[in-house]
Amino acid sequence: MRTIPYFAILGIAVVVALQSCSPAGGDNPGHEYMPDMGHPITYEANVYDDYSYNSWNTAERSVVDRKTLSGLNHPVKGTIPRGYVGMTPDDEVKMMLMTGQSSNSAIRTTVNGSVPFYYKDNEDERLRATKEIVGNPFPITKVGLQKGKELFNIYCSVCHGEKGDGQGYLVSEENPNAKYPAQPANFMQDQFYTSNNGRYYFAIMYGKNVMQAHADKLSYEERWQVIHYIRSMQAKAKTLQYDENQNTFFPAAGTPYAVVAAKKPSVATAAVTEAKKEEHSAEAHHEAGHH
């Protein structure tokens, strides 16, 4: 009979323990067992209500609604994500330095994760981009062409067709419900054969006519892989070559990897020299700081 009080005490202890973890509400600050060091006042991405256990109610602290603040936003103008660098493989000396291939002291940096585009969305800028952006910054590789084909078939072929002839499913006779308001571009026309790569890249970035922008769907490198693949289809139609070994179609539009690989020994030497210059400059700066 003396065991009953012990069960009563145990029950009271359990109730107290549960109550000690009560959430905040109204004027009650609540209780926490082993608090998680703090409650952020920032907004959870894509969450439109307050997390009662993870953040305080901050809905009245801003004149901007929570949905806007919790949704996707553009980065601050002029900034790029930390750890990324806007470089292209055509400058292999700096590329090898930044990726840690030529110096043991180099900090490996993710390349081409965020690259600015210095053209506005209007017709004059489209023409300027078409004129100024001639070559592809990435060499033509077998893997790159395969990836470009995959991406083209996912994002482009439904309109432009798997052959790039503008006969995608949306306008094809195979589609009984085809009512597309505009004819997609036919990349097999001479005007597209002779166009610089800037014409394609600008359209990917901003769209053209009823085509929407694809900058949010394709990364920097993926955009250029798609353009490589379009060029390879054009070359095939002209019975010319555009691959990792040779480019007889439009030499200025892309450099085969074989050409790049042939230069690698001299490039590696130059990269090591550049790395030593960087290290020497850093040491000199460090010594100057002690005087």
Under DSSP, is residue 282 helix (H, G, I), strand (E, B) or coil? helix
Tokens coding 174: 């195979």
Sequence letter at residue 274: E
Listing DSSP states for 227-253 in one string gives HHHHHHHHHHHTT--BSSS-B-S-GGG
Alpha-carbon distances, residue 246 vs 10, 80, 255 (angstroms):
82, 35, 8
What is the second-level CATH architecture of the domain 117-255?
Orthogonal Bundle (1.10)
pLDDT of 235-266, one tens digit each?
999 999 999 999 999 999 999 989 888 876 66
DSSP state of 37: S
Tokens coding 243: 């691959």
Ranges 53-62, 104-113, 219-228: which has the least confidence: 53-62
Domain with CATH 1.10.760.10 in the chain: 117-255
Tokens coding 242: 């555009």
Residues 85/220, Cβ–Cβ less than 8 Å:
no
Output the pLDDT for position 131. 96
96 burial (CB, 10 Å; 0-12 / 13-18 / 19+) is buried
The Cβ of residue 276 has, within 10 Å, a number of other Cβ atoms equal to 12
pLDDT of 85-107, one tens digit each?
666 655 666 666 666 666 666 66
- Report the chain's terminal Cα–Cα distance, integer Å: 85
